[in-house]
Amino acid sequence: MNLLIIGAPGAGKGTMSELILKNYHLVHVSTGDMLREAVRNSTPVGLKAQEYMNRGELVPEEIIHDIIADRFSHSDIDAGFLFDGYPRTRNQAEDLDSILKDMGKKIDCVINLNIDDEELIKRITGRRLCPACGEIYNVYSNPPKEEGKCDKCGAELIQRKDDNLDSLKVRLSEYHKNTQPVIEYYEAMDLVRHVEASGGIEEVYGRINSILEGLC
């Protein structure tokens, strides 16, 4: 079973990926992780990527392509994979298809986590972190007992810089602009399963699981 999972920032992609990986024997493939690993191990591609990162530039598509093609040449991937955080654009989707075709593989299902922007805004702008113990709160859905203070250790809660409304709106509009064509690309192949991503973690995972059970 080869899966892709797609979802806006804050839609719960990370949490759902973890749950899928816990319940199904799939290899987790994340371009971000692979990139960091290649840089850490100073592989030839990693060194090239590092030059761009040092200059604060985006790592070019060819380098991402090489990293993915390299990852798919390892045989553990034959057990099936969950691809997370990629493709982000239609070009990348086409590129991924050609890499997979060369390996005699294909995507079986694309899970698209659907959630209203309004709810995402509440999830993200309401998020508060405890810098001391790492506990996460949400002023709308999971507030601390005392405003601005961690229930567990009493430290002053903080808001991550990226979690403000302006930067979220930019991220969301970028996301929709790039991802809509990706979804349409896979819809034309009848691979997309839309999952309502509002509600509790178990509820949302239950929806995903019933789709995956139908695939196995």
Catalytic hit among 90, 105, 122, 171: 171
**160 given a catalytic annotation:** yes
Nearest Cα to 130, choosing from 146, 145, 147, 150? 150
Toward Zn ion, which CB reaches closer, 79 or 158? Answer: 158
Q: Cite the DSSP H helix spans in the chain.
A: 13-23, 31-40, 44-54, 61-71, 90-102, 117-125, 165-187, 201-215
Q: Which is nearer to Zn ion, 150 or 197 (CB)?
A: 150
Distance of closest approach, residue 155 Cβ to Zn ion, in angstroms: 5
Half-sphere exposure of 170 (CA within 13 A, CB side): 5
Can you tell me the distance from the alpha carbon of 139 to that of 59, in angstroms, rounded to the nearest whole number?
36
- Check the CA dihedral 177-179-185-188 and report its sign: negative
Q: Which is nearer to Zn ion, 115 or 130 (CB)?
A: 130
| C-alpha distances in Å from residue 203, one per residue of 5, 52, 121, 153 | 17, 41, 20, 30
Helix (H, G, I), strand (E, B) or coil at 104: coil
Task: List interacting residues with Zn ion (CB under 5 A).
Answer: 130, 132-133, 135, 150, 152-153, 155
Given 13, 71, 123, 193, which residue is catalytic?
13
Per the residue annotation, which of 71, 127, 128, 193 is the catalytic one?
127
Tokens of 184: 């349409």
Which of 105/149 has CB closer to Zn ion?
Answer: 149
Q: Is 71 a catalytic residue?
A: no
| Cβ 157 to Zn ion shortest distance, Å | 8
Catalytic residue, chosen from 48, 88, 105, 149, is: 88
Least gap, CB of 123 to Zn ion (angstroms) = 20
Active site residue 55: no
- What is the closest distance, in whole angstroms, from the C-beta atom of residue 127 to Zn ion in the complex? 14
Query: Looking at this protein, which amino acid is placed at residue 198?
Result: S
Question: Known catalytic residue: 40?
Answer: no
Question: Looking at the annotation, which residues are catalytic?
Answer: 13, 88, 127, 160, 171
